[in-house]
Amino acid sequence: MPLPSENMEEKDLEKQDLELGSPTLATTHLEEKEEKPPSLTSTSTSSSFSPDFEPIRATSTRRQSRDTTRSHKTASLRRHISNNGYGCDDPLDDSDNPTFASPPPPDDDEKDPFEVGWDGDNDPENPRNMSKAKKWVIVGITSFGSFIVTNASATYTATYTQMDAEFHNSRLIATLGLSTFVLGIALGPFWSPLAEFYGRRPIYLASFLSFILFLIPSAVARNIQTMITVRFFQGLSGSAFLSVSGGTVGDMFIRDEMQLPMAIFTLAPFIGPSTGPLIGGLVNSFLSWRWTHYILLIESAVLIVSLYFFVPETYHPVLLSRRAAHLRLTTSDPRYLAPTDKTTRSVLTTISTALLRPFQILLFEPMALLLDIYSAILLGLLYLFFGAFPLIFSTNYGFNLWQVGLTFMGLLLSMPLATMTMPFWHRYRNKLAERRGGVGEPEDQLPMVVVAAPLITGGLFWFGFTTYPWVHWIVPIIGSFVFGLG
């Protein structure tokens, strides 16, 4: 029990606050006394204060209101530490993440009875409850699509000799077809937010249909200008597929099952450029350069048929929205709504947000900026090899076109081998997370980069300092293998 003098001192201070303080402070103080839970009230009245300390005063609600308003104004550019690696908290999130796709069920007291969700973990319409065979068929088809798009970028490099002779253009001008394709790939992902409104399946079909339509002019082109122009639109339409297909793996697999399918899907875009010169070299050694594009047309036609018949919609919010629409139709009750039906964002707002968000991340997250530069350098070096290999191995070793294509086997073999190490890194990241109570951090990915970076540098030096006629041709290829491992 507190001493009487201490209780008297506390009451005097409260009275002084009410008499001399601002009206807002007085009102707040009285409201807090009335609204305090019994447990808190009994604790505060029974606690003793040291003569050296004053009791805690109430905070002005006006100040809290100003702070809240200020925080809302800066919400779109607010920085925070998050487990997904983003340094910008955007209230207009495109919801293309596993957390939104499978939100945790709310408490029974708060759950809206008309909010449409999955009927438990065993809902047959949930993509994560598909059979394993069907899941792997979808992974294989989407990975093959990623392979075709990236393969088309590099196969083109094997057509230079025949195409230059037919169109009477320089090698520098022909290289623009590769540059415009890569530029289209860079711009295509900005259209991925359309999947939030229409789903992944329509993006797949529209993307590859456009890709096929722009492959036809390149196969029958009569001048280099046509080739350079349509190559840009090939990259633009193909990259829409690349930007959406990665989310399909997350739609179908839970986090603990995602490692192997994601590794296979991630490997496909890297194998595509490596096999491009190999396939293109064989085709252009025995057939016309136009067959390079004919083969891509055949592959793309097979893929779009496979997409149409074997790849259903897997994006959870769109599936729930369709379920809600079906319930509204069958019950004539407009109150059935999916979580995404309650949003007021338009397509234009979503696309503009997607255009702004990458620059927000680069502006507020130096780590993201550095890793993007790192990835851009690696991708640039990979595409530089497409010009360096024909020059080195045809000049120094007298290789013909299909033999030059075989020199890319070093890169082709190294990338699957590097992918096989992903389970090891996954277990390593899990151990790091266990030390923090099961919480992972983006920095847990960095040890893999620390190991890989010396291999990249060493492989480049190995390749560069062994490309001489008196050095056996296998030696620089081994250097490219080391680079590919990194």
pLDDT at 127 over 90: yes
The structural domains of the chain, with segments of one domain joined by +, span: 1-47, 87-364, 366-486
pLDDT category of residue 293 using cuts at 50, 70 and 90 = very high
Contact (Cβ atoms closer than 8 angstroms) between residue 385 and residue 460: no
Helices (H), 156-311: 160-167, 171-187, 195-198, 200-219, 224-252, 259-286, 290-310
pLDDT category of residue 218 using cuts at 50, 70 and 90 = very high
The CA distance from 84 to 101, in Å, is 15
Pick the CATH number of 87-364 from 2.50.20.10, 1.20.1250.20, 1.10.1660.10, 3.40.50.720: 1.20.1250.20
CA 360 to chain centroid: 15
pLDDT, residue 339, reads: 79
Neighbours of 131 (CB within 10 A): 8
pLDDT category of residue 10 using cuts at 50, 70 and 90 = very low
pLDDT at 39 over 80: no
Q: pLDDT per residue over 382-398, tens digit each?
A: 888 888 898 899 888 98
Contact (Cβ atoms closer than 8 angstroms) between residue 401 and residue 288: no
237 exposed, middle or buried (CB, 10 Å; 0-12, 13-18, 19+)? buried
Q: pLDDT per residue over 64-110, tens digit each?
A: 444 444 444 444 433 333 333 333 334 344 444 443 444 455 554 56
> What is the C-alpha end-to-end distance of the chain, expressed in Å?
69
Residue reference for tokens 């070096």: 381
Q: What is the pTM of this model?
A: 0.72
Average of per-residue pLDDT across 151-155: 91
Q: pLDDT per residue over 340-365, tens digit each?
A: 777 777 777 777 777 788 888 888 88
Q: Cβ contacts of residue 192 below 8 Å, gap of 6+?
A: 96, 203, 240, 243, 244, 354
pLDDT, residue 70, reads: 44
